[in-house]
């Protein structure tokens, strides 16, 4: 497998999915992309472009330096997308690697070696040239468990680094890695000289279009333009990110023109903003997430698979999609979007809403002596969708004899419990990675990692299925092995999917050409303002 790029590509990176594309996609996926209209595009195109200016962004969550590589908050995603580059880029709608810091690559016949040619005109924000040693350092950093990154196992499976050429590197794997290009897309290239300052939140040095300027914990992040960016100078002078945990306050500040872009609002608010001529609402299909109910299988009530399956049958997914996501989602039993090689339409309908089956399973378990006390249901309090979904789940489970006590907590605490597998019973969160190579989810994601997951679900058959789809050559995984993985996920029912969610943001009509990575990171390299 190989690819090449022009000597000086001015790419339009990880491309934008603006409104028109979102509306087109909605004809097959959704009913509710009424959040915006093509009228917005026509309206915005008539404005006069201005060079420079500072983009003012509202984010729900602050950064946590120790988790900077975990994709666990909107401000972290914004920082990574602005400051860092990766070796390759996936477009939003495909898993086809495109050149970035790597200009071409070749995978060996047996899938255990990958040689990448690297750009020779790239510098870190410090002025130091980017070389193959930086690729080695970045991969080894991700392989270090201290950073708790979700592709740690894949990074750790890269066992050899030939850096004899400053502008090329050959990676050797412990075994074929079906998701190696997922790693190269997600892995930011990190500056080894400032890693200690990164740990302390004092410096974030990459090769990206914007340079980190300052961080006031709990309040604000600032970035300035990288005039020497290898793709060319961005239009914006800088980006100011205000941490505003109250979604309603974000909406109010956008409407008052105190912010240009908001990342956190309810889908109902996005729907309302989309009907206002002063705002764009962007929808990023191709950067899907999944909202789910997690279960701690060591909790005595949840250790019986019949109780977990009863919860799966009791979830009114269509109501969640309709009422909370305002149509910007798809009900699911398995995590995969329809274009995933692991997608199976019939299997995906396994746990369609069925209260009779749910109640029968609960009654059967209780008859066998399984006690089901009131169970805590933990969720992040800042993001408005989780509280609304939690109330629906609470009502659904009450119908089948499972009492739930709502347990809202701050996002940082919830993520800490997710990484440490510390939830006492049930939780609601979102996960990503199902839109990547399926093995990335099965061996890497906190909720699914077959070696150690947030549910503490340990099962030899599940682990074998996950390992089998992981240890095959990239692009050549046997479809039957994906079917076996699906079977294990449904059989174990340790993570109960509710819906695919399509991320949205809202901006004033003076903001143009916002982008998004497949990881869900906002991109402002192409962004400009109009007067």
Would you list the DSSP string of 13-77?
Answer: TT----HHHHHHHHHHH-S--TT--HHHHHHHTTSPEES--EEEEEESS---GGGTTS--SHHHH
pLDDT of residue 412 exceeding 90: no
**CATH class held by domain 208-285+504-530:** alpha beta
Percent of the chain with pLDDT over 90: 85
- Give mean pLDDT, residues 101-123: 98
pLDDT of residue 21 exceeding 70: no
- Nearest alpha-carbon partner for 337 in 210, 81, 161, 518: 518
Query: 181, 197 in Cβ contact below 8 A?
Result: no
Distance of CA 456 to the CA centre of its chain: 22
Which residues neighbour 30 within 8 Å (Cβ) at sequence distance 6 or greater? Answer: 327, 328, 329, 330, 502
Bridge partners (DSSP) of residue 242 are 58, 220
Pick the CATH number of 85-199 from 3.90.76.10, 3.40.50.850, 3.40.50.2300, 3.90.1720.10: 3.90.76.10
How far apart are alpha carbons 394 and 403 in whole angstroms? 7
Map tokens 């499976």 to a residue.
Answer: 157
How far apart are alpha carbons 153 and 487 in whole angstroms? 23
Bridge partners (DSSP) of residue 330 are 500
How far apart are alpha carbons 153 and 175 in whole angstroms? 12
At 39, phi and psi to the nearest 5? -55, -35
How far apart are alpha carbons 202 and 163 in whole angstroms? 29
The more confidently predicted of residues 19 and 464 is: 464
pLDDT band at 493 (very low <50, low <70, confident <90, very high): very high
pLDDT of residue 3 exceeding 90: no
Segments making up each domain of the chain, as ranges: 85-199, 208-285+504-530, 289-501
Tokens of 280: 């764009």
pLDDT recorded at residue 72: 79
**In angstroms, what CA-CA distances link 137 with 19, 62, 143, 189, 444?**
39, 26, 10, 8, 20
**3-state SS, one letter per residue, for 409-454:** ECHHHHHHHHHHCCCCCEEEEEECCCCCCHHHHHHHCCCCCCCCCC
CATH of domain 289-501: 3.10.105.10
At 127, phi and psi to the nearest 5? 100, -10
pLDDT tens digits for range 351-401? 999 999 999 999 999 999 999 999 999 999 988 899 999 999 999 999 999
- Nearest alpha-carbon partner for 450 in 437, 439, 462, 440: 462
Q: Terminal CA-to-CA distance of the chain, rounded, Å? A: 46
pLDDT recorded at residue 42: 38
**Crossing angle (nearest 10°) for helices 267-274 and 247-255:** 10
- Give mean pLDDT, residues 81-94: 96
pLDDT of residue 277 exceeding 90: yes
How many CB atoms within 10 Å of residue 402? Answer: 24
pLDDT band at 83 (very low <50, low <70, confident <90, very high): very high
Tokens of 310: 């009863």
Q: Is 485 helix (H, G, I), strand (E, B) or coil?
A: helix
pLDDT tens digits for range 187-245? 999 999 999 999 999 999 999 999 999 999 999 999 999 999 999 999 999 999 999 99
How many CB atoms within 10 Å of residue 217? Answer: 12
- Nearest alpha-carbon partner for 118 in 168, 76, 61, 49: 168
pLDDT tens digits for range 324-343? 999 999 999 999 999 999 99
How far apart are alpha carbons 211 and 528 in whole angstroms? 17
Alpha carbons within 13 angstroms on the beta-carbon side of residue 386 total 26
How far apart are alpha carbons 408 and 378 in whole angstroms? 6
Q: pTM score, two decimals?
A: 0.88
How far apart are alpha carbons 379 and 75 in whole angstroms? 19
Helix H segments across 87-240?
132-143, 152-156, 180-186, 195-199
pLDDT recorded at residue 17: 34
């Amino acid at each position: 497998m190989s690819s090449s790029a022009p000597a000086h590509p001015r790419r339009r990176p990880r491309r934008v999915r603006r409104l028109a594309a979102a509306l087109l996609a909605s004809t097959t996926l959704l009913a509710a992309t009424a959040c915006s209209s093509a009228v917005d595009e026509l309206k915005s195109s008539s404005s006069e472009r201005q060079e420079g200016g500072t983009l003012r962004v509202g984010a729900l969550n602050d950064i946590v330096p120790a988790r900077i590589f975990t994709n666990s908050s909107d401000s972290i995603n914004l920082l990574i997308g602005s400051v860092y580059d990766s070796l390759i880029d996936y477009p939003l709608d495909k898993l086809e690697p495109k050149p970035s810091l790597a200009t071409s690559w070749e995978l060996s016949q047996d899938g255990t070696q990958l040689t990448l040619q690297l750009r020779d005109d790239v510098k870190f924000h410090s002025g130091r040239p980017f070389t193959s040693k930086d690729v080695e350092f970045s991969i080894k950093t991700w392989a270090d468990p201290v950073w708790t990154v979700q592709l740690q196992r894949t990074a750790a499976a890269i066992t050899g680094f030939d850096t004899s050429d400053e502008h090329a590197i050959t990676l050797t794997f412990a075994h074929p890695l079906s998701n190696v290009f997922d790693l190269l897309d997600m892995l930011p290239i990190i500056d080894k000289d400032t890693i200690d300052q990164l740990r302390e939140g004092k410096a974030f040095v990459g090769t990206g279009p914007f340079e980190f300027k300052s961080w006031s914990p709990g309040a604000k992040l600032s970035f300035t333009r990288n005039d020497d960016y290898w793709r060319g100078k961005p239009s914006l002078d800088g980006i100011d990110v205000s941490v505003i945990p109250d979604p309603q306050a974000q909406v109010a500040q956008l409407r008052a023109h105190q912010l240009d872009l908001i990342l956190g609002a309810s889908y109902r608010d996005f729907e309302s903003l989309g009907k206002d001529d002063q705002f764009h609402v962007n929808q990023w299909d191709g950067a899907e997430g999944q909202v789910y109910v997690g279960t701690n299988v060591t909790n005595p009530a949840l250790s019986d698979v019949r109780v977990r399956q009863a919860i799966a049958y009791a979830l009114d997914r269509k109501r969640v999609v309709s009422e909370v996501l305002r149509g910007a989602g798809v009900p699911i039993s398995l995590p995969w979007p329809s274009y995933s090689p692991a997608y199976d339409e019939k299997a995906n309908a396994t746990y369609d809403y069925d209260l009779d089956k749910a109640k029968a399973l609960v009654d059967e378990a209780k008859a066998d002596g399984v006690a089901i006390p009131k169970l805590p249901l933990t969720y992040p309090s800042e993001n408005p969708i989780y509280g609304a979904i939690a109330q629906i789940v609470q009502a659904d489970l009450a119908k089948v004899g499972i009492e739930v006590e709502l347990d809202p907590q701050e996002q940082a605490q919830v993520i800490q419990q997710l990484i440490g597998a510390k939830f006492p019973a049930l939780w609601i969160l979102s996960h990503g990675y199902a839109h990547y190579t399926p093995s990335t989810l099965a061996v890497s994601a906190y909720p699914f990692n077959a070696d150690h997951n947030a549910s503490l679900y340990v099962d030899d058959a599940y682990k074998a299925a996950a390992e089998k789809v992981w240890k095959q050559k990239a692009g050549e995984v046997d479809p039957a092995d994906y079917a076996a993985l699906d079977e294990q996920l449904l059989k174990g029912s340790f993570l109960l999917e509710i819906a695919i969610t399509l991320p949205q943001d809202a901006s004033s009509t003076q903001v143009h050409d916002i982008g998004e990575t497949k990881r869900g990171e906002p991109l402002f390299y192409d962004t400009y303002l109009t007067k």
